[in-house]
Structures are given as structure tokens and as C-alpha cells.
Chain A
């Protein structure tokens, strides 16, 4: 319980600081407060004055952030100045899209990553290890945005690009963990006693690094979220990655603060959740 409270307090603190950091960056960015409509010659002098007045409202960063939290408690996330829509509505429309991309990406990354790691540990031929290592290394050497472009050129399902971007990291970490586990004395002893490969993997090799593999799953959620940005931008998927991109380019303070906090929240929840589960498994093993 104490551990849970500690995690929750840490999560809340990082969240508040993350949001404030995001707000500070946007507020200090050159071009902040300048609206495209300000250059529109068709608008009257009163309209220009109203636009400038609304920009001045957010000038005081501290006041903006306090007001932001007051509204957040009431469930009001504000309105996006770039897209002229309530942020709550924008998020409701786009979060499912990103969630689908992340789910598909994580499923592919883990199936491929863990599958190839296990194959390279169990298979009696070194060629399996070299081939899977070479495949992971080539994918790791291609920038995430380039993989997204290649998926567009190949007309392949864009969501799978997220999986390919995350896969090499999953493969490398799990492969190292499993290789270490496979060389432990109890595994060698079980192998010498004639245990079958499946039994070896599921009863002896996998349980040892299970807590670390779970922790890696938490980290991979954050990797998938980051991978969604170039994939959604270049493959034109309307998710929160694309929204973050638009918010950053148009210096949309309200939207960017919300997105920074959402991204931080997802990352922290995934990491904390997996840490807690891994801790419980470790306790169970002990």
C-alpha cells in the first residue's frame, strides 16, 4: 500500500511538472501569441483588437497554469486555437485511433520480438540467431519516419509500422535476458535431465527474467506512443501523434499542455503498472 501511494505521489508530481514544462516551452517559443488571422486584411480593427486581447490573456504563465488546473478539475480542457475545436472533443476523436495503432504495433512488436528471441535461444542453428539479429539491426538502422514513408510507398497497413519501429528494441532486450537465463545452472541441469524444449522455455527460462520483461513492456508502451508521431503524420492517421505535431507547429498552448500531460500519464501509468506487477512476481518467486 505504501509503495502504491509512493508511486501515485511520484506520478502526480511528474505529471504536474511535465504539464508546466510544456506550458513554459510553448510560452517562451518565438511566434507565441501570433495568430494567422491577425494578418487577415478582411477583419475589422475591433476583431484584430479582440484577437490580441485573447492572446494577452495567456501571457502570464503562472496564471495560465493555475486557471488551467481549475478548469481541468471541472472537466474543461479548453479550446484548441489551431483547430478551433474543444480539446475534449479532439481527444475523444483521436485517442481511439492512436490506441488502435499502439495495440496493433505492440502486438506485432512483441510477437515478432519475443518470438525471434525465443527461436534464437532454442533453435540449434546459429543461423537463426544471426538472421534475426541482422533483421532487427537493419530495422533499428532505419529512422522511424523513414519506415513510415516506406509503408506508404508499399501501401502496407500503416499501424504495422509502429510495430516494426518498436520490434528491434524488444528483440534486443528480450534476447539478452533470455540468453542469460538460458545459461543458468538450473536450466543446464534440466536440459541434461532431458527436459523438452517447450518445457525448458516455459518452466525454466522464461520465469527468471519475467519481471524485467514486464518492465520492458511498460517501456515499450512509451516507445509505441513515440512511434505513433511520425507514422500518424506521414501516413495521415488522425491520432494524438498527429495532433501533437499540429499543436507544436502552431504553438497551441492549451492543446500542447494537455497532450504533454496525456503522453506523460500514459508513459508513467504503463511503467508504474508494470513495475508493480514485476515487484509482485519477484515477491512470489522469492
Chain B
């Protein structure tokens, strides 16, 4: 089990390194167009061929991986922090605040995730510069992803606020804010960390879904979603198998996350 887990982590680390060094590894910029060679097959100059606009696919895959792998953790961090603050405070304070927060979480969770995501994304500006579209897409994932985690963290904070440790601190004269800051929130750390790691593959997949539906990162900036959109026009006659490389990388990355986060049930 350890070997498989180590291999998964190694794979994720390699992917992270590839994104980090994308400008050095890529033979061209993601936006450069080789107008003489659109839809070119794999060659020494273009290891994965070119797309219909003549852009080097290998470079686009490297930069696309960078966008997806850097921003999904950023969105996960935002969602986890929001969930920690909202759920943590609600669980600690309890009463009407907890009921209100849980009702809001119920409202968000009552709508299917993809429906909510597509609806809200489509309502935000679509015709924006690439960098703005990246920020909008991943901020949206972060802002909409808090509800599920907040429920878990609220329950944890409620349990903690009734624990002997907190009762003792309260009896020693610690006030509400100090109790929350020094005793409750630090003890939510393991749950926060778990929620963070669980959210990353979810957000990578969510971005890919949005990208395929044309609501993700705007052209010419690539992401796994926009690279997969290329497959919509795939035909066995005039397309290249290299078009499937982003899909294979995505599946391997999500699979590596699953194996790295596996708690042992698989091997039991």
C-alpha cells in the first residue's frame, strides 16, 4: 500500500514540478500559432502535434496543467477557510446563528452542485480577459464549495465547545473570542486539512466540466477544461490520438489524489 501511495505522491510531485517549470519545458508559448502547420501530427518540433489553430499542444498541456493544478488548491483553500470560519463560528456560538448558517448550507446543498455552478458561472461576465476568467472560475468554485465542509466543521466546533478542555478554559476566565481563537479553531485543523485535500480533485473536475461547456477559462489561456473541449470535434478520420493526452493526465492526477488520500479500506 505504501508503495502505491508513494508512487501517487511522486506522480503528483512530478506534475507539480512540470507546471512550475512549464516556461522552460515548453517549446513555445501556449498562444503562439504556427500558421503553416495547423492540426500537425506529433513530431520532434511539436511532441504532441498542434491544434486547429497551429498552437503547440505540448506547450498548451503544460500551461493548462499549471492553471488547473495551481488554482484548484487555491480554490480549495478559499472554500476550506470560508467553511472553517463560517462553520467554526456557527458551531461555537450555537443558537440562532448555527440554525441560520445550517439553513444557508442546506439551501446551497439542496441544489445539485453542477447546476448551481453552471447557473452562477453563466450569470457572471463571460466575455472577459483570460486572467479575469481564471480568477472568476476559481473564486466561484471557492465561494460555492463551502457548504458541505461547513456542516462538518460546525458539528466539530459544537463538540469542541462542549468539551472539558473548553469548559476548563472558560472556567479559568477565557472569553468567547479567546476561546474560539486559542482553543476551538486550532483543534479544527485536522478536519480543515482533510476538507482541503478532498476539495482539490473535486475542484479540478468542476473546472474541467465548466471548461468543456465553454464556461471556464477563456481562450487563449489553456486549462484542462478548455483542452478537453477540443475532443468535442474529435473524429477518427482527421484527428490525432494526442488530443487524448489532457484526458489521460487528468484521470491519472485525480486517480493519484484518490490513492494518496485512501485511508486503507482498499487494502484491508
Binding site for B on A (CB under 8 A): 10, 13-14, 17-18, 21-22, 25-26, 28-31, 129-130, 133, 137-138, 140-146, 149, 153, 176, 179, 222-223, 225-227, 229-230, 233-234, 244-245, 248-249, 251, 256, 260, 263-264, 267-268, 271
Contacts and interface: CB of A to CB of B under 8 A. Distances in A.
A278 to B, nearest CB: 18
Contacts of B112: 222-223, 225-226, 263, 267
A145 B208 contact: yes
A229 B231 CA distance: 18
A29 B124 contact: yes
B250 interface: yes
Which size class do B's interface residues fall under?
35 or more
Contacts of A234: 212-213, 232
Contact of A230 (B119, B212, B234): B212
What secondary structure prevails in chain B residues at the interface with A? helix
A244 B122 CA distance: 10
8 contacts: A13-B103, A25-B120, A143-B205, A143-B212, A143-B250, A144-B205, A149-B228, A245-B213
Contacts, number: 117
Nearest to B119: A248
B113 interface: yes
A141 B114 contact: no
B209 A17 contact: no
Contacts of B174: none
A263 B254 contact: no
Interface in B183-236: 201, 205, 208-209, 212-213, 225, 228, 231-232, 234
A171 to B, nearest CB: 13
Given A230-B114, A230-B209, A260-B111, A249 B254 contact: no
What secondary structure prevails in chain A residues at the interface with B? helix
Given A141-B254, A143-B212, A248-B118, 4 more contacts: A29-B124, A146-B212, A149-B228, A222-B112
A14 B110 contact: yes
A266 to B, nearest CB: 9
Which of A10, A146, A256, A268 gathers most chain B CB within 10 Å? A146
B212 A229 contact: no
B209 A137 contact: no
A252 B204 CA distance: 29
Nearest to B104: A17
Contacts of A149: 212, 228, 231-232, 234
B251 A142 contact: yes
A11 B265 CA distance: 36
